[in-house]
């Protein structure tokens, strides 16, 4: 059995987790998350400098609580991991420096984890997660991507958003409708009272050089603008804005776009397993629609546990545990952090000469 101490500070959640695995069975011993939502809500989004300062303030207490709850000592873990890319650089640096300092202090191996690989790995805590090659829809506040994942964690990005990620669009539309931050949960709650077919909103696509469209890519900026124009038009005609109907229509279109393109990608690549992870993966409309449409195509859907959809250190620990299966997968203590790094380059984090 391997045990890992993991740290996640890529954005506005300060999280520390102790996780272990025995073969294909993954277990969470503690997963402490200190959210900064209240600190950033008044600004309508995450303020990077404020987030970094809060991580610095919260991390010692979160670390202590995670160790106490797990009843595992740092001396007894096999490795220490932290998110190193992508994310807010100042925030990443707080977690990375802490993890590497602990590695120096306790003579432990260090694993720098790609944040998106962490989301991909959250599925390891589900029952009967796919062991063979599968397609992942990673949909969160900062990323909307389709990633083919091989049996040995080879990762190939097949689709991406060219502008706003789906979660980012939820936040912006939530703000536009006066629902506050974060927009995803607020829109989902009020959409239950609305008619999802009340408004016909666009399903935007990205043009290719041949005059057609990129089949697996996403664009949500145009949808967000369409909602803005709709709100402006209704406000000119009446002072009664049908927020539940607009929210429900927006939520439906986002879910349909995500589901349609994911299933098409899976079929075209002969993949019969789809994994859905990330913060937006907690959306009930998306989850139900994905299961329903995938079943019509004889595709199995594996959903990340609701409590592990948003950023957390357990998913980072799971990624580290999976990497420990391959002895060469250990990061240099000289590895820094980076605000951007494609998922295709995740293996570079374990090179003797680090990429940054």
Instruction: Summarize pLDDT for 213-255 with one digit per residue, the tens.
Output: 999 999 999 999 999 999 999 998 887 899 999 999 999 999 9
Q: What is the pLDDT of residues 69-115, one digit of tens each?
A: 999 999 999 999 999 999 999 999 999 999 999 999 999 999 999 99
- pLDDT of 127 > 90? The answer is no
Q: Which of 347, 343, 353 lies closest to 112 in space, CA to CA?
A: 347
Would you tell me how many other CB atoms lie within 10 Å of the CB of residue 331? 26
* pLDDT tens digits for range 141-200: 889 999 999 987 889 999 999 999 999 999 999 999 999 888 999 999 999 999 999 999
Q: Are strands 273-277 and 300-303 parallel, antiparallel or unpaired?
A: parallel
Q: What is the CATH number of domain 131-303?
A: 3.30.420.40
The answer to which of 6-15, 26-35, 41-50, 141-150 has the lowest mean pLDDT is 41-50
Which segment of 9-23, 200-214, 264-278 scores lowest on mean pLDDT? Answer: 200-214
pLDDT at 297 (0 to 100): 96
Nearest to 280 by CA among 144, 115, 140: 140
Is residue 303 over pLDDT 80? yes
Do 139 and 42 meet the contact criterion of CB atoms below 8 Å apart? Answer: no
- φ and ψ at 138, to 5 degrees? -105, 115
pTM over 0.85: yes
Pick the CATH number of 2-121+310-350 from 3.30.70.20, 3.60.15.10, 1.20.120.80, 3.30.420.40: 3.30.420.40
Are 2-121+310-350 and 131-303 in the same CATH fold? yes
Structure confidence at residue 10 (pLDDT) = 96
pLDDT value at position 208?
85
pLDDT, average across residues 303-322: 96
* Residue written as token pair 């049996």: 151
Sheet of strand 110-114: strand arrangement: 25-35, 13-22, 2-8, 79-85, 110-114
pLDDT score, position 55: 96
pLDDT of residue 176: 94
CA distance 288 to 283: 9
Residue 68: per-residue pLDDT: 98
Is it the case that residue 24 has pLDDT exceeding 80? Answer: yes
- Domain ranges, ordered by start, for the chain: 2-121+310-350, 131-303
The answer to whether residue 327 scores a pLDDT higher than 80 is no
């Amino acid at each position: 059995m391997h045990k890992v101490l993991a740290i996640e500070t890529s954005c506005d959640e300060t999280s520390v987790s102790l996780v272990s695995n025995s073969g294909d069975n993954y277990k969470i011993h503690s997963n402490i998350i200190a959210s900064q939502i209240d600190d950033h809500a008044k600004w309508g989004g995450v303020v990077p400098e404020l987030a970094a300062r809060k991580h610095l303030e919260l991390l010692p207490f979160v670390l202590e609580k995670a160790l106490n709850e797990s009843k595992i000592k740092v001396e007894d873990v096999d490795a220490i991991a932290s998110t190193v890319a992508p994310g807010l650089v100042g925030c990443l640096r707080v977690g990375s420096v802490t993890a590497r300092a602990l590695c120096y202090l306790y003579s432990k191996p260090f694993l720098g984890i790609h944040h998106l690989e962490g989301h991909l790995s959250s599925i390891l805590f589900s029952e009967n997660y796919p062991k063979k090659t599968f397609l992942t829809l990673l949909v969160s506040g900062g990323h909307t991507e389709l990633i083919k994942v091989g049996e040995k964690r080879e990762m190939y990005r097949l689709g991406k958003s060219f502008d706003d990620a789906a979660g980012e669009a939820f936040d912006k539309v939530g703000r536009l409708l006066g629902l506050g931050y974060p927009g995803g949960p607020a829109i989902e709650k009020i959409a239950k009272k609305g008619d999802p077919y009340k408004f016909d909103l666009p399903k935007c696509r990205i043009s290719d050089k041949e005059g057609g469209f990129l089949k697996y890519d996403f664009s949500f900026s145009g949808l967000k603008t369409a909602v803005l124009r709709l709100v402006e038009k209704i406000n000119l005609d009446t002072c009664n804005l049908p927020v539940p109907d607009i929210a429900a229509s927006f939520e439906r279109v986002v879910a349909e776009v995500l589901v349609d393109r994911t299933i098409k990608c899976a079929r075209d690549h002969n993949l019969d397993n789809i994994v859905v992870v990330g913060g937006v993966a907690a959306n009930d409309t998306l989850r139900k629609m994905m299961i329903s449409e995938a079943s019509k195509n004889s595709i199995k859907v594996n959903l990340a546990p609701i409590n592990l959809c948003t950023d957390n250190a357990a998913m980072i620990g799971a990624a580290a545990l999976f990497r420990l299966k391959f002895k060469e997968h250990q990061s240099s203590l000289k590895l820094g952090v980076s605000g951007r790094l494609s998922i295709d380059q995740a293996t570079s984090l374990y090179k003797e000469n680090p990429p940054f």
